[in-house]
């Protein structure tokens, strides 16, 4: 592996990239444990694929915003390091697949030349901050949430308390009460609100907490009906600190904050968050409202009039993909992207079109498309023609025909059955048999390759996730059907009911049966979920039961979509969160690494960061010694308390009071340089005792075995 030269202005970024390169070398020469390396690379956006020897690199684009220069940069990088495909995700990221591990540091460095990061795009971190793509132009918004989403992204990037959480942590901002960012399904969600106080407009947010999808979906609870804008970042920091300390760490399937909230209750969670208020870096954080202002196309271009007004495709596109912004005289234009996949060449041409006609502020949408902003009305016919030449003028954005699907078994270790294959087939069925549904925005179809809900199937009116079942000795690729999910608005939503499991190849027939029944029996203007509630889950189970009959399985049902051989389940180990290393020596080594980071940040005058690195070193070292006694703890607070029980109460370690009281000074003192130094000195003394204790223990073991 050859080193490369970085020429980046930001020393923190350069250090990050060089560290990744060094860790890759250590992993390849066998000096770095595989699981520890996995945790490190995931936090740097490098994710293992289903295919051995290659990686998926996830590019973190806060609230989906991307400039044309950045889009071209990513397209160029995909050509050089991958296969030329750009995959748009439901979290407004871009993923590049089939990247050699050795080339990921160089790829990252190239991205950073245009201020694009992959840091904390995966792993047990604060993930990409998402937002309504219409933020800033939404006719229904009370103010633009883009600067707030950008502030949260910027503030929490590289913060020490957000690097090694029990699981990932997701934040979303909706532009209005319509809640198009699905705040009710996030760890923290924000909906903009205003109040009038003493004749002045005060900005704030309704705050949702503890939502999540996956195998066990939870609807978020309301933490605040109104939280002032300058308090959202301090509150978010407090919640993340509580999650870090009290969240589950042994069972990764129970390690999201939704489980902690369910365990201790909203009142206790908010009380613990309030306890952290003294420790947070800033008790108020003023948001710069000008950080997301777009650069408009300033040309006085005269647009040629094309005779497209009578073209039915143009009219369909205009009706379903175009809307007038809150800025009168300007229009937003949505672009459907099949399965979220766009080739690099097409991406470059799209960038050229944006530069001619739109603001340099493209948004990746939550359903894997694009939104162009600030189009003039007279530009629309020309724009349509150019998009159409690229195959990017398909009507029906965010309609029944615009199906969301994750990559599934194409690249993901956790994929069970093909989500992309069935998605393409269902879109074909709708296009050919139900063309009028391109105007129906009530029903959403979302398909995930497994129950983890990367395509957000749980909040769709019609959702599917990959599965399988036995039919005699045969294994059948299957889809679990969910019905009745959706957004209600203002932070409220509903989770789809699991109705029936059917062979994947019967998916088109299932969709036909549902749509035909709804069309025939629903009242005029009745929404799908209203009809579903009226009929009930069992009605649809009975309707679809004949299609799920194992006795009617035929040979074709045993072959999944886009495959030629019989189906067999091949589920690997997922990397949605890093696996913890519970080895004593590794934990002590990690504590020493945190000690170094605490010293470095203290010397740089970053007291808050130093304090948290110190805290993490205390916890790692304590956990190491507890494991030496076969005491297993599943939370940081459990480690702290158990260390008192198993080491302080036994007299093996002593403190002025207790270990817990010393360590938990972190949320009793303000993050001043003076406290940071005192806390760090206490850590140094503790680690010396740990080292001595560990040495004595090893010597005893050697004596007993000789």
Residue 570 region, left (φ>0) first, then alpha (ψ -120 to 50), else beta?
Answer: beta
Architecture of domain 11-112: Alpha-Beta Complex (3.90)
pLDDT at 194: 98
Q: Where do the structural domains in the chain lie, given as residue ranges?
A: 11-112, 130-278, 312-389, 404-558, 584-704
Q: Which residues contact 412 (CB under 8 A, 6 or more apart)?
A: 49, 50, 406, 449, 450, 454, 574
DSSP label of 35: H
Q: Are 419 and 462 in contact (CB under 8 A)?
A: no
Which CATH superfamily groups domain 404-558? Sulfite Reductase Hemoprotein, domain 1 (3.30.413.10)
From residue 606, alpha-carbon distances to 119, 406, 597, 598, 601 in Å are: 20, 40, 11, 9, 5
Residue indicated by tokens 């789809």 = 496
Q: How many CB atoms lie within 10 A of CB 609?
A: 22
For the record, the structure tokens of 410 come out as 């194409």
3 state SS of 369: coil
* 312-389: CATH, from 3.40.190.10, 3.40.50.720, 3.40.309.10, 3.30.70.3340: 3.30.70.3340
**Do 404-558 and 130-278 fall under one CATH topology?**
yes
Model confidence pLDDT, tens digit, residues 672-706: 999 999 999 999 999 999 999 988 888 876 676 55
Q: Provide the 8-state DSSP code for 160.
A: G
**What are the start-end ranges of the H helices in 29-145?**
34-42, 68-81, 104-112
CA 288 from chain center: how many Å?
24
Domain 584-704, classified CATH 1.20.120.330, yes or no: yes
**DSSP string covering 206-252, please?**
EEEES-B-SSS-B--EEEEEEEEGGGHHHHHHHHHHHHHHHS--S-G
What is the per-residue pLDDT for 109? 95
| Tokens encoding 435 | 């063309």
Other Cβ atoms closer than 10 A to 659: 22
What kind and span of H or E run contains 25? helix 11-28
* Strand partners of residue 86: 342
Cα 508 from Cα 426, distance rounded (Å): 6
* Structural tokens at position 706: 């000789």
Burial class (CB in 10 A: 0-12, 13-18, 19+), 267: exposed
Q: Please compute Rg for the chain using Cα positions.
A: 27
Per-residue confidence (pLDDT) for residue 237, from 0 to 100: 97
Report the alpha-carbon distance of residue 36 to residue 593 in Å, rounded. Answer: 13
pLDDT tens-digit series, residues 485-543: 999 999 999 999 999 999 999 999 999 999 999 999 999 999 999 999 999 999 999 99
393 phi/psi in degrees, rounded to 5: -115, 25
The topology under which CATH files domain 130-278 is Sulfite Reductase Hemoprotein; domain 1 (3.30.413)
Closest by Cα among 445, 446, 448, 452 to 410: 448
- CA atoms of 35 and 579, how far apart (whole Å): 6
Which residues of the chain fall below pLDDT 50?
A: 577-582
pLDDT at 581: 34
Write the DSSP assignment of 562-630 as a string of letters: T-SS----------SSPPP---HHHHHHHHHHHHHHHHHHHHTT-HHHHHHHHHHHHHHHHHHHHHHTT
What's the Cα-to-Cα distance from 251 to each of 39, 124, 270, 370, rounded to whole Å?
16, 13, 24, 37
Q: How many helices (H) and strands (E) does the chain have?
A: 20, 22
Question: What CA–CA distance (Å, rounded) separates 426 from 479?
Answer: 13
């Amino acid at each position: 592996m050859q080193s490369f030269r970085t020429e980046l202005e930001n020393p923190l970024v350069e250090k990050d990239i060089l560290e990744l390169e060094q860790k890759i070398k250590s992993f390849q020469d066998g000096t770095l444990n595989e699981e520890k390396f996995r945790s490190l690379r995931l936090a740097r956006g490098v994710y293992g694929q289903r295919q051995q020897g290659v990686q998926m690199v996830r590019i973190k684009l806060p609230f989906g915003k991307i400039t044309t220069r950045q889009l071209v940069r990513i397209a160029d990088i995909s050509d050089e390091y991958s296969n030329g495909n750009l995959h748009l995700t439901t979290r407004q990221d871009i993923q590049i697949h089939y990247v050699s591990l050795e080339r990921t540091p160089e790829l990252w460095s190239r991205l950073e030349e245009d201020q694009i990061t992959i840091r904390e795009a995966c792993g047990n971190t604060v993930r990409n901050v998402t937002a309504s793509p219409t933020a800033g132009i939404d006719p229904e918004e009370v103010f633009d949430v883009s600067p707030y989403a950008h502030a949260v992204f910027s503030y929490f990037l590289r913060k020490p308390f957000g690097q090694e959480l029990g699981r990932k942590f997701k934040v979303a901002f909706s532009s209005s009460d319509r809640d198009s960012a699905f705040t009710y399904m996030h760890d923290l969600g924000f909906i903009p609100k205003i109040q009038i106080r003493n004749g002045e407009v005060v900005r704030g947010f309704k705050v949702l907490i503890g939502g999540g999808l996956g195998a066990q979906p939870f609807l978020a609870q309301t933490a605040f009906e109104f939280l002032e804008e300058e308090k959202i970042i301090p509150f978010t920091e407090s919640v993340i600190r509580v999650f870090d300390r009290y969240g589950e760490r042994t069972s990764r399937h129970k390690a999201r904050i939704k489980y902690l909230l369910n365990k201790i209750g909203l009142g206790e969670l908010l009380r613990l968050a309030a306890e952290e208020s003294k420790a947070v870096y800033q008790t108020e954080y003023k948001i710069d409202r000008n950080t997301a202002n777009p650069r408009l196309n300033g040309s006085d271009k005269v647009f040629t009039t094309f005779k497209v007004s009578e073209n039915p495709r143009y009219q369909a596109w205009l009706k379903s993909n175009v809307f007038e912004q809150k800025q009168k005289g300007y229009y937003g234009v949505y672009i459907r992207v099949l399965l979220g996949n766009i080739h690099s060449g097409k991406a470059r041409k799209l960038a050229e079109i944006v530069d001619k006609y739109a603001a340099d502020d493209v948004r990746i949408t939550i359903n894997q498309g694009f939104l162009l902003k600030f189009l003039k009305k007279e530009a629309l016919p020309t724009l349509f023609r150019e998009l159409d030449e690229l195959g990017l003028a398909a009507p029906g954005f965010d309609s029944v025909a615009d199906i969301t699907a994750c990559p599934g078994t194409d690249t993901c270790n956790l994929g069970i059955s093909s989500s992309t294959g069935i998605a393409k087939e269902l879109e074909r069925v709708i296009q050919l048999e139900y063309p009028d549904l391109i105007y129906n925005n009530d029903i959403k179809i979302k398909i995930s390759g497994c129950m983890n809900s990367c395509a957000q199937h749980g909040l769709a009116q019609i959702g599917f996730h990959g599965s399988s079942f036995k039919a005699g000795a045969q294994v059948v690729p299957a889809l679990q059907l969910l019905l009745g999910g959706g957004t209600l608005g203002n932070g409220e939503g509903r989770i789809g009911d699991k109705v029936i499991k059917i062979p994947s190849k019967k998916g088109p027939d299932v969709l036909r049966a549902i749509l035909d029944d709804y069309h025939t029996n629903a009242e005029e203007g009745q929404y799908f979920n209203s009809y579903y509630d009226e009929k009930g889950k069992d009605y649809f189970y009975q309707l679809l039961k004949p299609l799920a009959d194992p006795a009617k399985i035929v040979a074709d049902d045993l072959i999944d979509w886009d495959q030629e051989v019989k189906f067999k389940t091949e589920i690997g180990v997922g990397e949605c969160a890093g696996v913890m290393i519970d080895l004593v020596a590794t934990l002590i080594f990690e504590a020493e690494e945190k000690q170094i980071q605490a010293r470095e940040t203290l010397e740089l005058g970053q007291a808050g960061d130093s304090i948290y690195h110190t805290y993490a070193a205390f916890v790692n070292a304590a956990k190491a010694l507890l494991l030496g006694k076969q005491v297993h703890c599943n939370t940081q607070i459990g480690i702290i308390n158990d260390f008192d029980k198993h080491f302080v109460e036994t007299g093996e370690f002593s403190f002025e009071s207790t270990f817990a009281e010393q360590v938990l000074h972190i949320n009793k003192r303000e993050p001043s340089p003076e406290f940071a130094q005192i806390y760090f000195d206490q850590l140094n003394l503790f680690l010396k005792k740990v080292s001595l204790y560990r040495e004595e223990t090893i010597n005893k073991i050697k004596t007993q075995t000789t």
